[in-house]
Amino acid sequence: MFSQQTDIPMTYSRLFHPVLLVQEIIHTGTAQLEGEEKKRVSIINTLSLASIVLCLIFGTAIYYLTGNIRILLPAYAEALLFVVVLLFNHFRLHNTAAILTALLHNTSIVYFSILMGMVAEVHLLFFFLVGAALTVFQGKPLLISVSIAISVICLVLCELNYYYNVIPPLDLSLSDQFLIRWVSIPAILVLDVITIYIYVRGLRRKNVLLQRKAAALEKADKDSRRQAMETSHEMRNPFNAVYGITQDLLMKVQQSDKYPELKSSVEHLYSASHNVLQILNNNLEHHRLEEGVTPQLETSTFNLREWAAETTNIYQYIANVRDVQIALEIEQGMPALIEGDKIKLTQVLNNLLFNAIKFTHAGSTVTVQINQALPNWQLHVKDSGAGIPEERLSTIFSPYVSEQHAFGGTGLGLPIVQRFAELMGGTVSVASKEGEGSVFTLTLPLVAAEEKVAEASVSKQLTIRSFKGVKALVIDDNEMSNMILSRFLERMECEVVSALSGEEGVKLADSMHPDIIFLDSHMPDMDGKDTLAVLQSMPVVRNAIVIAVSGDAAETSIGDLLKAGANGFMTKPIDLKALNDLMIKYESRIANKNAK
């Protein structure tokens, strides 16, 4: 009767096999269903089958003990109605079957409670009714609520009838009451156990599914991050060439009057390249944070005015694209030299300027102000844009929160600003009014290295120092990256020799005795770490400065090189100003080495 199969001999064979028959009944009407709905219908069938069995056993046993037909007939009638529930599911009337199941349970409880009074211990069925509602109407919150409410009402009515005797129960002898009590209690407990078992099994199944989904999401997240890092690495090598050539062109058009018509185009090209560099650097820093790499502070003493002037002048090229001017205002009382992490301060100011230029109005001015706020100092970057809506101010420092803008952006700049500010023992805040622009304020502890104030020489040229006589060895298997870095060093008047492999680099180092070596971390056959180990074993280059160079977004290879003895690192694409600063950092050490 219940089978959905077309194989008739198989169907009849199941009628004579108890286990197969039970399985057939439990799964009736589920052939065309999937997922949670299939499980829900199977649960209704299970509860119906259990109710049929209990009604037949309970009704027959009580009738046998008491001879009372008023218990036997309703029990058999209830069993027959649960057969109807199974038929409804068989004919795919699943919602009707679920509602009829709930109604039958509640009606039978009220009837037998009235009939047998307090002997039946009907209140024990409350857990069953709640569990049945949760499973029978799974995924239907309204029907669950209505079913539980009806069950509560029915139980209250039963209790009221006990106390006020509105409908008198059967007049049973003490022995009959005892027998009914100990027949009904096991039946009730069986229903409770079945319901609890079904509900707990469902929770476990869902927990397993959630764990699988969580594992799948975690794997997808790792795969996504790995792909993003690999993509970043793949982008850095070719972009290193683009950015290097762009910087080289900019210096040429600045120093020559031969190509005046190209100057504006080259400045625009440099601006666009610098934008891409900023995005790549922000992605790099974001990947580091996601991987749990804690940035390290590198405190040094530097000239505050020169630093601020150099950074704002570089961004003036980017501002020119939008016809925006950058004004730098430094309070007279600010010390000339302060202590701090110059690299991270530069990244902070880069992001704040990039953000301000992006959102300010064309033809307006972005103002950078530096002042004392003892015991701190403050850096303010003010734009003249449309401002930030008040409801967005609370999320402005969250990752990937960014307004759509033709000038680009990933929404990673401000979170990195906040992270670096906190790392340096300070804070960053924003004040904004719609229609009047925004002001971002970085507040940091003021550690003055000197009281006197020195004036900075401000130049809008992309300038570099001369390191005449310094012998530099570039080891990089990427020909374009090798050429760009070598050309930059030649512009600094270094004596440059380049190698396209670790083996070639070792041979050249043995013959030229370099002062500084730029070593790519990723090379075939003999990688950066292996090359460094060989170089350190050579007496003639043991005291040479080694700078690790990589486009690896994860920077694991650079970390390995630093642990192995490299003195510093640079990431691709190579920034001419950063290279210039790095050479200045090691200038005195190179001079001392050559003096010995």
pLDDT given for residue 516 in this prediction: 93
Structure tokens at 126: 């409350």
Q: Cα–Cα distance between 292 and 298 in angstroms, integer? A: 19
Q: Cα–Cα distance between 581 and 562 in angstroms, integer? A: 19
Closest CA to 47 of 137, 132, 139: 132
- Nearby residues of 129 by Cβ (< 8 Å), 6 or more positions away: 105, 106, 109, 147, 148, 151, 155
Helix (H, G, I), strand (E, B) or coil at 97: helix
Q: Cα–Cα distance between 303 and 336 in angstroms, integer? A: 6
pLDDT given for residue 82 in this prediction: 92
pLDDT given for residue 557 in this prediction: 60
295-445 and 471-595 share one CATH topology?
Answer: no
Query: Helix H segments across 1-68?
Result: 8-15, 18-26, 35-66
301 pairs with which residues across the strands?
A: 339
Q: Cα–Cα distance between 52 and 54 in angstroms, integer? A: 6
Contact 368, 308 (CB under 8 A): yes
Q: Cα–Cα distance between 115 and 137 in angstroms, integer? A: 29
Q: Cα–Cα distance between 96 and 104 in angstroms, integer? A: 12
- The domain spans of the chain are 18-172, 295-445, 471-595
Which CATH number describes the domain made up of 295-445?
A: 3.30.565.10
pLDDT given for residue 405 in this prediction: 44
Contact 332, 365 (CB under 8 A): no
CATH of 471-595, picked from 3.30.70.1150, 3.40.50.1980, 2.60.120.200, 3.40.50.2300, is: 3.40.50.2300
Dmax (CA) for the chain in angstroms is: 121
Contact 378, 443 (CB under 8 A): yes
Q: Cα–Cα distance between 353 and 358 in angstroms, integer? A: 8
Contact 546, 519 (CB under 8 A): yes
- Which residue's entry shows tokens 């679920």? 98
Contact 104, 154 (CB under 8 A): no
Q: Cα–Cα distance between 45 and 32 in angstroms, integer? A: 15
Closest CA to 533 of 501, 496, 566, 511: 566
- Nearby residues of 307 by Cβ (< 8 Å), 6 or more positions away: 342, 345, 346
pTM assigned to the model: 0.52
Helix (H, G, I), strand (E, B) or coil at 243: helix
Helix (H, G, I), strand (E, B) or coil at 93: coil
Write out the chain's pLDDT in tens, 596 residues.
Answer: 444 443 444 455 555 567 778 888 888 888 888 888 888 888 889 888 988 988 898 888 888 877 878 888 988 999 999 999 999 999 999 889 989 988 888 888 888 878 777 666 666 677 777 878 888 887 788 888 888 888 888 888 887 887 787 888 777 777 777 777 777 777 777 777 877 777 777 778 888 888 888 888 888 877 776 776 666 666 766 777 777 788 878 777 777 777 777 777 777 777 777 767 777 777 767 666 666 666 677 788 888 998 888 888 878 877 887 888 999 999 988 998 999 888 788 889 988 998 888 888 888 899 999 999 889 999 999 998 888 887 777 778 776 555 544 444 455 678 888 888 998 999 999 988 888 889 999 999 988 886 544 444 444 455 678 898 899 999 998 888 888 899 889 989 999 999 999 999 999 999 999 999 999 888 888 888 899 899 989 988 888 999 988 876 455 566 677 888 888 888 788 888 888 888 988 888 888 766 65
Structure tokens at 514: 């370099």
Structure tokens at 322: 């939008």
Q: In what order do the strands lie in the sheet with 471-475?
A: 495-499, 471-475, 516-520, 545-550, 568-571
Q: Cα–Cα distance between 411 and 283 in angstroms, integer? A: 10
- Which residue's entry shows tokens 């950066």? 528
pLDDT given for residue 9 in this prediction: 46
pLDDT given for residue 6 in this prediction: 38
